[in-house]
Amino acid sequence: MKTDITQALVDEHRLILRMITLLERNAPRTAAGDYTNWQFYLDGVDFIRNYADRFHHAKEEDVLFTALVNNGMPRENSPVAAMLMEHDQGRTYVLGMETAVRETLDGLPGRENVIAENALAYAALLRDHIAKEDDILYPLAERLIPETMREGILKGYGLAEVQATTGFSEQYRNLIATYEQE
């Protein structure tokens, strides 16, 4: 039995998917003028930047994907390259969403559609992205990466954990649970 190197990432996907579900629920209501809790979007941006990007994507980009490349997967024109491009595309949508929310808070009218479009584009991209990682890339990594490298990978994940503040995941779990009850 090999040391597992992907279950922790699959678990993180579950929390990210809960935020995606919230975006899918709230964005159409914002476009229709029925949901104006802008703080939800700012909290969503904060969660995506710090948890999905800095915490989860750092483990992928700096540790797991690097290990895949070190085990023969090309860096260009490969599944890893596609995943990295999607991370970047996601950052663009999140910035678009944040900018439109801040413009709204500054009093600019009619930005609701831009908020909703970016939120839904992010949600669709990430839902598809996560499915590809869970179903294809992670199982591939479990087959490809030799046991001798696995302790090092877990140590690499630990580094991302150490850089996060105490109660980091718990705090975001609570935040998402609060919005789920809205």
- Contacts with Fe ion by CB under 5 A lie at 60, 83, 133
Query: Judged by CB, which is closer to Fe ion: 60, or 98?
Result: 60
Long-range (24+ apart) CB contacts under 8 A made by 24-29 are 24/120, 24/123, 26/119, 27/115, 27/116, 27/119, 27/120, 27/123, 28/116, 28/120
Take residue 52 and report the two structure tokens written for it. 């999905």
Query: Least separation, in Å, of the C-beta of 38 and Fe ion?
Result: 27
Q: What is the CA radius of gyration of the chain?
A: 18
Q: Closest CB to Fe ion among 59 and 101?
A: 59
As given in the structure block, the two tokens for residue 134 are 């869970």
Q: DSSP letter for 2, please.
A: P
Of the pair 115, 129, the CB lying nearest Fe ion is at 129
- Smallest separation (angstroms) from Fe ion to the CB of 32: 31
> In the complex with Fe ion, which residue's Cβ is closer, 83 or 120?
83
Residue 110 Cβ vs Fe ion, minimum distance, rounded to whole Å: 33
Nearest distance from C-beta of residue 130 to Fe ion, angstroms:
6
